[in-house]
Structure 1
Amino acid sequence: MKSILLIVPYFGKWPLWFDAFLLSVAANPTINWLCPTDCEIPKSQPANITFLSTTISQLNQHINNVVEAEVPLNPRKFCDLKPAYAEIFAKQVVGYDFWGFCDMDIVWGDVRKFITEDILSEHDIISSRKENISGHFNLFRNTPQLNSLYKRLPNYRVLYGVPEFKWTDEVILSNFIKTDPAFKALGIKVYWSKILCNQENGRDSHQEYYLDKWLWKDGKMLQLKNGEPIDEVMYLHFINWKRTMKYSVVKYEDSPNQFYISFNGMHYKPHMAFEIILNRYKNLYNGYYVRESQRKGKTRIKKFFKKN
Structure 2
Amino acid sequence: MKVALIVLYFGKLPNYFSLFLKSCEINKDFTWFIFTDDKTEFNYPENVKKIEINFEQCQNLFQQKFDFDIALKTPQKLCDYKCAYGYILQDYIKDYEFWGHCDIDLIFGNLSNFVTKEVLQNYDKLYTLGHLTIYRNDELINKQFMNKINGQSRYKQVFTDDNGCGFDEWIGENINNIFYNTEYRFLDTAIGADLDPYNTSFVLAWYDKQKQKYIRDRVKNNVFEWKNGNLYRFYENEDKNKIIKEEFPYVHFQKRNMNFDKEILNVDDFFVIPNKFIYENKDVKSMLDIAKKLSVINYQYFKVKYKSLKSRLKNKNFNFSNVFK
1:267 to 278, 302, 308: 278
Aligned residue identity for 2:228: D
Change (3 A) 1:69 1:229: farther
Distance 2:160 2:129 in 1: 22
Partner of residue 191, structure 2: 196
Number of residues of Structure 1 aligned to a counterpart in Structure 2:
277
Change (3 A) 1:277 1:229: closer
CA contact (8 A) 1:16 1:248 kept: yes
Aligned residue identity for 1:16: N
CA contact (8 A) 2:273 2:287 kept: no
Aligned residue identity for 1:166: C
1:149 to 2:144 alignment: yes
Change (3 A) 1:276 1:191: closer
1:174 to 2:173 alignment: no
Partner of residue 217, structure 1: 227
2:260 to 233, 245, 248: 248
Structure 1 moving runs of 4+ over 6 Å: 205-212, 226-229, 271-275, 289-293
Partner of residue 93, structure 2: 93
1:106 to 2:106 alignment: yes
- The structure, 1 or 2, with the larger RCO (C-alpha pairs under 8 Å, 6+ apart) is 1
Aligned residue identity for 1:249: D
Unaligned stretches of 5+ residues in structure 1: 128-132, 294-302, 304-308
1:49-198 → structure 2 map (5 Å cutoff): 49-73=48-72, 74-127=74-127, 133-153=128-148, 154-171=153-170, 172-178=174-180, 183-184=181-182, 187-193=183-189, 195-198=190-193
Unaligned stretches of 5+ residues in structure 2: 195-203, 208-213, 237-241, 306-319, 321-325
Change (3 A) 1:81 1:261: same
Change (3 A) 1:209 1:269: farther
CA contact (8 A) 1:212 1:260 kept: no
CA contact (8 A) 1:209 1:283 kept: no
Percent identity between the two aligned chains = 22
Distance 2:187 2:47 in 1: 25
Partner of residue 286, structure 1: 298
RMSD of the alignment, in Å?
A: 3.1
* Greater helix content: 1
TM-score, structure 1 length as denominator? Answer: 0.80
Distance 1:224 1:189 in 2: 33
Q: Which moved more, 1:98-107 or 1:209-218?
A: 209-218
Partner of residue 306, structure 1: none
Distance 2:216 2:37 in 1: 28
Change (3 A) 1:13 1:202: closer
Change (3 A) 1:25 1:126: same
Distance 2:222 2:39 in 1: 31
